[in-house]
Structure 1
Amino acid sequence: MTPPKELKSFKPRKSPAAKPRAKTTRKPAVKKKSATFPWKPVIIGALLILLSPFYYGYVVNFFSSSWQWVKNIGKNPHYRTYKSFGIDIPMRYKIHGIDVSYAQGKIDWPKVRAMEEDSVRIKFAFMKATEGLLTVDPYFKRNWREAAKNGIRCGAYHFFRPYKSGLWQARFFLQNVNIESGDLPPVVDIERLDNVKPEVMRKELHEFLKHVESKLHVKPVIYTGLSFYKDYLEGDFEDYPLWIAHYNKPQLKAGKNTNWWFWQHSETAHINGINHTVDFDAFKGDSIQFEQFLIR
């Protein structure tokens, strides 16, 4: 057997050395900017609005009105508080006024005329002129002149004393008051008996009314309290228009057939230009009836 040929030793082929890879500097990836909302101008604008007096006033008024609405739940919707006047006012009536005397002192009538809240403003004023047989209100002449000068319809009243002559009181009143076209009718204020019998008071009051009516050709208005009217006047003076005092009530319960035209519903009103509380009044009718009520 022939011996196998000796195998040549196998030498692996060396592969050519790999060249080292050249180092490369990688640029950092640039992040794409996303669209952002301009919060800063919006925040600044919101702050300017919130801090502005106009917005603040709007917010305050809104919450004030809401709170007033909450407070008025369950109350008479026709009788609400008027903050500037400081009283509740019956909202059924559109013509409002006041009555004044020396007790209110010197009045700034332009301020009275300019005052207004929610369409309520002073359109007429009754002012005390005389009392009894000798007393003239020290502020009457000024009030009569200045109120009319500022466009307020004026009326004068006499404080009646039942123990004195009604005729002579009427003469004294007319001597001190010059009532003209466009004024309210004259008023006689009767509130007490002055220790005389009711029939004596009624007799003298009739004398006063008849004399004034004969001179001015207009029926005077009788001012009195509701209880005094029911106790001593009801049924005897039905031909005369009435001005009745009855305070802090949503409506005047004087009876459907009572000939009342003015209602003094508060005695504690606050009026710009007057440094003392004031009686506040409402006229029963509308603007046309008010004009018809004036002296022509």
Structure 2
Amino acid sequence: MPPEKRIPSDKKTVARKPVERKPTSRKPVGKRKKQSFLSAKMKVAIAALLLILLSPLYYGYVLNGFVATWRWMKDLGQDPNYRTYKSFNIKIPKKYSIHGIDVSYYQGKINWPKVKAMKEDEVKISFAFIKATEGILQVDPYFQRNWREAPKAGIVCGAYHFFRPKKSGSAQAKFFLQVANVEKGDLPPVVDVETLDGVTPLRMRLELSDFLTYVEMKTGVRPIIYTGLKFYEDNLKGKLDEYPLWIAHYYQPRLRLDKSRWKFWQHSDKAKINGIGHVVDFNAFNGDSTTLAEMLVK
């Protein structure tokens, strides 16, 4: 071939320039593949989320979380009906103006003037229930001292008997009244029933009825039944409804029982009271001072 007709070497380089377009042509393809993959993942995620949201377990979990948060807020004192009183070292339900304690030998020797003098804001000790007897033989060793000294300090008192369902109800009532001399100005006598002692609920109620009938006949005042909320619901609800109730139900801003059914609420067993060396049960009365006065033995 003649020299003048040869293709110049620089023209060969120009002819291969289209190679530079390759990245441009492939870039959209790569994008399309990635978008398709993400779209599939999104579909799976949305389907899983819908399954969770429609599941009853999810709503149960949310509800439990709400309840836990509400309880946490209450523990921080944010429940306006349930606040901590530092002097008594417990939370006390508000909306009650009359407060009191109940004691036995467990509290030891009590300085009743100090008990009476204790006060924080509107809360003070106005009444006390004092253990007298148990079964047909046991007398509380501190009963006579407490029964004598508490009224001297200006505290209204009532005596209580710890009931044993295996024993005769009337025999226990006689024993109780031999020890506790119920007088004018006292709170009604109390029978504390919180165990079946192996007998049936029916047998317990029969003996308890005998106790109540005998005490009412001898004192002329209707006795109070003390028991725990669970024991009441299981064994006494709808029975012996003519008698006033004193219910134990701890660490709650309100008692889970119709307010028309109870007179006293034992809401804590950990109160610290001036003049007493051990923790004490703390109670609220369902009423004002006039209502309390109407309950006293005439």
TM-score, structure 1 length as denominator?
Answer: 0.75
Match of 2:59 in 1: none
For 1:200-249, what per-residue CA distance to the aligned partner results, in whole angstroms no more than 9, with x for missing partners? 00000000000000011111000000000000001111100000000000
Secondary structure of the residue aligned to 1:129 is strand
Match of 1:268 in 2: 270
1:113 is the counterpart of 2:116: yes
* Paired AA for residue 154 in structure 1: C
Secondary structure of the residue aligned to 1:107 is coil
Match of 2:235 in 1: 232
The alpha carbon displacement at 1:163 in A equals 0.2
The alpha carbon displacement at 1:256 in A equals 4.6
Question: Following TM superposition, where does structure 1 have runs of at least 4 consecutive aligned residues deviating by more than 3 angstroms?
Answer: 70-74
Which of the numbers 135, 156, 178 marks the counterpart of 1:153? 156
* Paired AA for residue 260 in structure 1: W
Matches within 5 A, 1:79-98: 79-98=82-101
Q: Provide the aligned length of Structure 1 versus Structure 2.
A: 226
Identity score, percent: 64
1:142 is the counterpart of 2:145: yes
Q: Higher helix share goes to which structure?
A: 2
* Paired AA for residue 192 in structure 2: D
Secondary structure of the residue aligned to 2:282 is strand
1:165 is the counterpart of 2:168: yes
Measure the CA separation in 2 of the matches of 1:190 and 1:270: 25
CA RMSD of aligned residues (A): 1.5
Matches within 5 A, 1:207-226: 207-226=210-229
Measure the CA separation in 2 of the matches of 1:265 and 1:283: 11
Match of 2:178 in 1: 175
How has the CA–CA distance of structure 1 residues 230 and 276 changed in structure 2, closer, same or farther, with 3 Å as cutoff?
Answer: same
How has the CA–CA distance of structure 1 residues 256 and 112 changed in structure 2, closer, same or farther, with 3 Å as cutoff?
Answer: closer
Q: Is residue 77–residue 83 contact of structure 2 (8 Å, CA) maintained in 1? A: no
How has the CA–CA distance of structure 1 residues 169 and 71 changed in structure 2, closer, same or farther, with 3 Å as cutoff?
Answer: closer
How has the CA–CA distance of structure 1 residues 169 and 73 changed in structure 2, closer, same or farther, with 3 Å as cutoff?
Answer: closer
Match of 1:126 in 2: 129
Q: Is residue 77–residue 84 contact of structure 2 (8 Å, CA) maintained in 1? A: no
* Paired AA for residue 279 in structure 1: D
Match of 2:287 in 1: 285
The alpha carbon displacement at 1:71 in A equals 9.6
The alpha carbon displacement at 1:73 in A equals 7.3
| Structure with bigger gyration radius | 1
The alpha carbon displacement at 1:255 in A equals 2.5
TM-score, structure 2 length as denominator?
Answer: 0.74
